[in-house]
Amino acid sequence: MERKLLIAGNWKLNKTIREALELVTLLKRSIRETQTVEVVVCPPFTALSETAETLLESGIQVGAQDIFWEEKGAFTGEVSATLIKEAGAAFVIIGHSERRQYFHETDETVNKKTKAALKNCLTPIVCVGETLAEREADKTFLVITAQLKGGFANFSADEMKKVVVAYEPVWAIGTGKVATPAQAEEAHAFIRKELSKAFGSDVAGTLRILYGGSVKPENTSELMSQPDIDGALVGGASLEAPGFTEIVRNAALGRRPIEEL
Ligand code: PEP
Protein backbone atom coordinates (compact mmCIF):
# COMPACT_ATOMS: atom_id res chain seq x y z
CA MET A 1 0.00 0.00 0.00
CA GLU A 2 1.34 3.45 -0.96
CA ARG A 3 2.08 5.72 1.98
CA LYS A 4 3.29 9.22 1.13
CA LEU A 5 6.58 10.04 2.79
CA LEU A 6 6.43 12.69 5.49
CA ILE A 7 9.45 14.68 6.65
CA ALA A 8 8.77 16.89 9.67
CA GLY A 9 11.24 19.33 11.20
CA ASN A 10 10.95 19.81 14.96
CA TRP A 11 12.64 23.11 15.74
CA LYS A 12 12.14 22.68 19.51
CA LEU A 13 13.03 25.82 21.51
CA ASN A 14 14.88 27.48 18.64
CA LYS A 15 14.25 30.37 16.22
CA THR A 16 12.93 33.84 16.85
CA ILE A 17 10.22 35.00 14.46
CA ARG A 18 12.84 36.69 12.30
CA GLU A 19 15.04 33.58 12.22
CA ALA A 20 12.04 31.38 11.44
CA LEU A 21 11.12 33.54 8.46
CA GLU A 22 14.69 33.53 7.18
CA LEU A 23 14.74 29.73 7.34
CA VAL A 24 11.39 29.14 5.64
CA THR A 25 12.12 31.70 2.95
CA LEU A 26 15.16 29.59 2.04
CA LEU A 27 13.23 26.30 2.30
CA LYS A 28 10.53 27.61 -0.01
CA ARG A 29 13.18 28.17 -2.68
CA SER A 30 15.19 25.01 -2.17
CA ILE A 31 12.68 22.21 -1.53
CA ARG A 32 11.40 20.80 -4.81
CA GLU A 33 9.89 17.49 -3.74
CA THR A 34 6.59 18.48 -2.11
CA GLN A 35 4.61 16.48 -4.67
CA THR A 36 6.25 13.23 -3.60
CA VAL A 37 7.19 14.05 -0.01
CA GLU A 38 4.94 15.81 2.49
CA VAL A 39 7.10 18.42 4.26
CA VAL A 40 6.21 20.00 7.60
CA VAL A 41 8.06 22.46 9.83
CA CYS A 42 7.21 22.82 13.53
CA PRO A 43 8.36 26.19 14.94
CA PRO A 44 7.77 27.42 18.48
CA PHE A 45 4.23 28.76 19.11
CA THR A 46 5.40 32.38 18.80
CA ALA A 47 6.51 31.90 15.19
CA LEU A 48 3.61 29.71 14.01
CA SER A 49 1.45 32.37 12.49
CA GLU A 50 4.11 34.23 10.50
CA THR A 51 5.75 30.98 9.41
CA ALA A 52 2.43 29.65 8.10
CA GLU A 53 1.74 32.90 6.28
CA THR A 54 5.16 32.87 4.62
CA LEU A 55 4.67 29.26 3.53
CA LEU A 56 1.20 29.75 2.03
CA GLU A 57 1.00 27.97 -1.34
CA SER A 58 4.58 26.70 -1.02
CA GLY A 59 3.53 23.08 -0.47
CA ILE A 60 5.36 23.10 2.88
CA GLN A 61 3.03 22.73 5.85
CA VAL A 62 3.27 23.87 9.44
CA GLY A 63 2.85 22.06 12.75
CA ALA A 64 3.02 22.91 16.44
CA GLN A 65 5.17 21.06 18.97
CA ASP A 66 2.44 20.46 21.55
CA ILE A 67 -1.13 21.37 22.53
CA PHE A 68 -3.31 21.23 25.63
CA TRP A 69 -6.45 19.09 25.42
CA GLU A 70 -8.99 21.68 26.64
CA GLU A 71 -10.39 24.23 24.21
CA LYS A 72 -10.25 27.25 26.51
CA GLY A 73 -10.54 28.39 30.11
CA ALA A 74 -8.42 28.91 33.20
CA PHE A 75 -5.31 27.02 32.05
CA THR A 76 -2.54 29.59 32.31
CA GLY A 77 0.24 29.09 29.82
CA GLU A 78 -1.49 26.48 27.70
CA VAL A 79 -2.34 26.59 24.00
CA SER A 80 -5.27 24.70 22.47
CA ALA A 81 -5.79 22.88 19.19
CA THR A 82 -8.16 25.64 18.05
CA LEU A 83 -5.52 28.31 18.64
CA ILE A 84 -2.76 26.56 16.71
CA LYS A 85 -5.18 25.82 13.90
CA GLU A 86 -6.13 29.47 13.70
CA ALA A 87 -2.40 30.30 13.56
CA GLY A 88 -2.05 28.08 10.47
CA ALA A 89 -0.94 24.70 11.83
CA ALA A 90 -2.15 21.51 10.18
CA PHE A 91 -0.02 19.13 12.29
CA VAL A 92 0.95 18.82 15.94
CA ILE A 93 3.66 16.75 17.62
CA ILE A 94 2.32 14.97 20.70
CA GLY A 95 4.17 13.08 23.44
CA HIS A 96 7.71 13.91 22.33
CA SER A 97 10.18 12.23 24.68
CA GLU A 98 11.41 15.64 25.88
CA ARG A 99 7.86 16.43 27.00
CA ARG A 100 7.55 13.04 28.65
CA GLN A 101 10.93 13.49 30.38
CA TYR A 102 10.88 17.17 31.41
CA PHE A 103 7.18 17.97 31.61
CA HIS A 104 5.81 14.70 32.99
CA GLU A 105 3.63 13.84 30.03
CA THR A 106 2.06 10.41 30.29
CA ASP A 107 0.29 8.08 27.90
CA GLU A 108 -2.95 9.40 29.38
CA THR A 109 -2.15 13.03 28.51
CA VAL A 110 -0.94 11.88 25.09
CA ASN A 111 -4.31 10.22 24.62
CA LYS A 112 -6.27 13.38 25.53
CA LYS A 113 -4.10 15.64 23.38
CA THR A 114 -4.33 13.32 20.39
CA LYS A 115 -8.13 13.23 20.70
CA ALA A 116 -8.21 17.04 20.89
CA ALA A 117 -6.04 17.31 17.77
CA LEU A 118 -8.30 14.98 15.78
CA LYS A 119 -11.43 16.79 16.95
CA ASN A 120 -9.96 19.93 15.39
CA CYS A 121 -8.89 18.23 12.15
CA LEU A 122 -5.18 18.49 12.94
CA THR A 123 -2.86 15.61 12.10
CA PRO A 124 -1.20 14.40 15.31
CA ILE A 125 2.36 13.06 15.14
CA VAL A 126 2.43 10.85 18.22
CA CYS A 127 5.89 9.93 19.52
CA VAL A 128 6.83 6.63 21.13
CA GLY A 129 10.19 5.08 21.92
CA GLU A 130 12.37 3.47 24.54
CA THR A 131 15.24 4.86 26.62
CA LEU A 132 18.72 3.34 26.49
CA ALA A 133 18.16 1.61 29.86
CA GLU A 134 14.93 0.09 28.57
CA ARG A 135 16.60 -1.16 25.38
CA GLU A 136 19.48 -2.63 27.34
CA ALA A 137 17.03 -4.36 29.67
CA ASP A 138 15.31 -5.88 26.61
CA LYS A 139 12.16 -3.91 27.27
CA THR A 140 11.90 -2.04 23.95
CA PHE A 141 8.80 -3.85 22.72
CA LEU A 142 7.12 -3.82 26.14
CA VAL A 143 7.60 -0.04 26.39
CA ILE A 144 6.32 0.61 22.88
CA THR A 145 3.31 -1.64 23.42
CA ALA A 146 2.37 0.22 26.61
CA GLN A 147 2.77 3.61 24.90
CA LEU A 148 0.58 2.54 21.99
CA LYS A 149 -2.07 0.97 24.24
CA GLY A 150 -2.26 3.98 26.56
CA GLY A 151 -1.83 6.66 23.93
CA PHE A 152 -4.53 5.23 21.68
CA ALA A 153 -6.90 3.80 24.29
CA ASN A 154 -10.53 4.12 23.13
CA PHE A 155 -9.58 5.18 19.62
CA SER A 156 -11.69 3.96 16.71
CA ALA A 157 -10.17 2.63 13.49
CA ASP A 158 -11.43 5.75 11.71
CA GLU A 159 -9.62 7.99 14.19
CA MET A 160 -6.43 5.95 13.91
CA LYS A 161 -6.37 6.38 10.13
CA LYS A 162 -5.72 10.08 10.69
CA VAL A 163 -2.81 9.60 13.08
CA VAL A 164 0.93 9.59 12.31
CA VAL A 165 3.19 7.67 14.71
CA ALA A 166 6.85 8.61 15.21
CA TYR A 167 9.22 5.96 16.55
CA GLU A 168 11.95 7.88 18.35
CA PRO A 169 14.36 5.81 20.41
CA VAL A 170 15.23 8.25 23.19
CA TRP A 171 18.90 7.22 23.10
CA ALA A 172 19.12 8.43 19.49
CA ILE A 173 17.57 11.87 19.97
CA GLY A 174 20.08 14.70 19.81
CA THR A 175 22.91 12.29 20.60
CA GLY A 176 24.29 11.66 17.12
CA LYS A 177 23.64 7.94 17.71
CA VAL A 178 21.27 6.91 14.97
CA ALA A 179 19.47 3.57 15.10
CA THR A 180 20.70 1.30 12.34
CA PRO A 181 18.22 0.87 9.50
CA ALA A 182 17.70 -2.71 10.71
CA GLN A 183 17.02 -1.63 14.31
CA ALA A 184 14.61 1.04 13.15
CA GLU A 185 12.84 -1.28 10.70
CA GLU A 186 12.43 -3.92 13.41
CA ALA A 187 10.71 -1.42 15.70
CA HIS A 188 8.57 0.02 12.89
CA ALA A 189 7.42 -3.43 11.76
CA PHE A 190 6.59 -4.25 15.37
CA ILE A 191 4.54 -1.04 15.76
CA ARG A 192 2.66 -1.79 12.52
CA LYS A 193 1.93 -5.32 13.70
CA GLU A 194 0.61 -4.07 17.06
CA LEU A 195 -1.57 -1.47 15.33
CA SER A 196 -2.86 -4.14 12.98
CA LYS A 197 -3.86 -6.32 15.95
CA ALA A 198 -5.64 -3.43 17.65
CA PHE A 199 -7.20 -1.58 14.71
CA GLY A 200 -7.05 -3.93 11.72
CA SER A 201 -4.74 -4.38 8.76
CA ASP A 202 -6.45 -1.63 6.78
CA VAL A 203 -5.47 1.00 9.37
CA ALA A 204 -2.01 -0.44 9.91
CA GLY A 205 -1.38 -0.56 6.17
CA THR A 206 -2.18 3.11 5.60
CA LEU A 207 -0.87 4.70 8.82
CA ARG A 208 2.51 6.38 8.50
CA ILE A 209 5.30 5.61 10.95
CA LEU A 210 8.17 8.12 11.00
CA TYR A 211 11.64 7.48 12.36
CA GLY A 212 13.25 10.11 14.59
CA GLY A 213 16.69 10.23 16.19
CA SER A 214 19.76 11.93 14.70
CA VAL A 215 18.47 11.85 11.13
CA LYS A 216 20.95 13.59 8.82
CA PRO A 217 21.36 13.91 5.05
CA GLU A 218 23.89 11.03 5.07
CA ASN A 219 21.64 8.47 6.76
CA THR A 220 18.27 9.48 5.31
CA SER A 221 18.00 7.43 2.13
CA GLU A 222 19.01 4.17 3.77
CA LEU A 223 16.49 4.68 6.57
CA MET A 224 13.75 5.67 4.12
CA SER A 225 14.34 2.63 1.95
CA GLN A 226 13.12 0.37 4.77
CA PRO A 227 9.63 -0.97 4.02
CA ASP A 228 7.99 0.21 7.25
CA ILE A 229 9.67 3.62 7.52
CA ASP A 230 7.42 6.28 6.03
CA GLY A 231 9.35 9.43 6.82
CA ALA A 232 11.30 11.18 9.52
CA LEU A 233 10.91 13.52 12.46
CA VAL A 234 14.05 15.62 12.34
CA GLY A 235 15.35 17.76 15.22
CA GLY A 236 18.81 19.34 14.99
CA ALA A 237 19.22 18.85 11.24
CA SER A 238 15.99 20.75 10.51
CA LEU A 239 17.41 24.04 11.77
CA GLU A 240 19.46 24.85 8.67
CA ALA A 241 18.02 25.06 5.16
CA PRO A 242 20.73 23.15 3.21
CA GLY A 243 20.66 20.12 5.52
CA PHE A 244 16.89 19.90 5.76
CA THR A 245 16.54 20.32 1.99
CA GLU A 246 19.01 17.50 1.45
CA ILE A 247 17.12 15.27 3.88
CA VAL A 248 13.91 15.82 1.91
CA ARG A 249 15.71 15.13 -1.37
CA ASN A 250 17.44 12.01 -0.06
CA ALA A 251 14.17 10.75 1.41
CA ALA A 252 12.56 10.98 -2.02
CA LEU A 253 15.52 9.13 -3.56
CA GLY A 254 15.54 6.49 -0.82
CA ARG A 255 11.91 5.66 -1.45
CA ARG A 256 12.26 5.38 -5.23
CA PRO A 257 12.37 1.83 -6.63
CA ILE A 258 16.00 0.76 -7.20
CA GLU A 259 15.65 0.54 -11.02
CA GLU A 260 14.81 4.26 -11.16
CA LEU A 261 17.94 5.39 -9.32
C1 PEP B 1 13.50 15.07 17.65
O2 PEP B 1 13.56 16.09 18.31
O3 PEP B 1 12.38 14.58 17.46
C4 PEP B 1 14.73 14.49 17.12
C5 PEP B 1 14.65 13.36 16.50
O6 PEP B 1 15.90 15.20 17.31
P7 PEP B 1 17.32 14.94 16.58
O8 PEP B 1 17.02 14.78 15.11
O9 PEP B 1 18.12 16.16 16.88
O10 PEP B 1 17.89 13.71 17.17
Interval 31-43: pLDDT, tens: 999 999 999 999 9
If one residue of 173, 223, 240, 247 were mutated to test the ligand 1 pocket, choosing by the most ligand atoms within 8 A of its CB, it would be 173
Domain coverage including residue 82: 5-255
261, amino acid identity:
L
192 domain-assigned = yes
Name the residue with the closest Cα to ligand 1, atom 8.
235
Indicate the number of domains in the chain: 1
Q: What is the mean pLDDT of the chain?
A: 95
Q: Is the pLDDT of residue 235 over 60?
A: yes
**For residue 1, what pLDDT is reported?**
60
**Residue 20 Cα, ligand 1 centroid: separation in angstroms?**
18
Interval 118-128: pLDDT, tens: 999 999 999 99
**For residue 261, what pLDDT is reported?**
39
Give 256: exposed, middle or buried? Use CB within 10 Å, 0-12, 13-18, 19+: middle
261 domain-assigned = no
Q: How far is CA 204 from CA 3, 23, 32, 125, in A?
A: 11, 35, 29, 15
**For residue 158, what pLDDT is reported?**
97
**For residue 176, what pLDDT is reported?**
86
**Residue 97 Cα, ligand 1 centroid: separation in angstroms?**
10
Q: Which residues line ligand 1 (CB under 6 A)?
A: 10, 168, 173-174, 212-215, 233-237
154 domain-assigned = yes
48 domain-assigned = yes
Please give the number of the atom of ligand 1 that sits closest to the Cα of 96: 3
**Residue 259 Cα, ligand 1 centroid: separation in angstroms?**
31
Q: Is the pLDDT of residue 46 over 60?
A: yes
Q: Count Cβ atoms below 10 Å from residue 49 Cβ, excluding itself.
A: 17
Name the residue with the closest Cα to ligand 1, atom 3.
235
Where is average pLDDT lowest: 89-98, 146-155, 170-179, 222-231?
170-179
Residue 168 bears catalytic tag: yes
Q: Is the pLDDT of residue 180 over 90?
A: yes
CA distance 194 to 137: 21
Average pLDDT estimate for 166-174: 94
Give 18: exposed, middle or buried? Use CB within 10 Å, 0-12, 13-18, 19+: exposed
Name the residue with the closest Cα to ligand 1, atom 6.
235
Please give the number of the atom of ligand 1 that sits closest to the Cα of 93: 3
Q: What is the CATH number of the domain that holds 209?
A: 3.20.20.70
Average pLDDT estimate for 43-64: 98
Q: What is the pTM of this model?
A: 0.96
Q: Is the pLDDT of residue 17 over 50?
A: yes
Interval 190-222: pLDDT, tens: 999 999 999 999 999 999 999 999 999 999 999
230 domain-assigned = yes
Residue 96 bears catalytic tag: yes
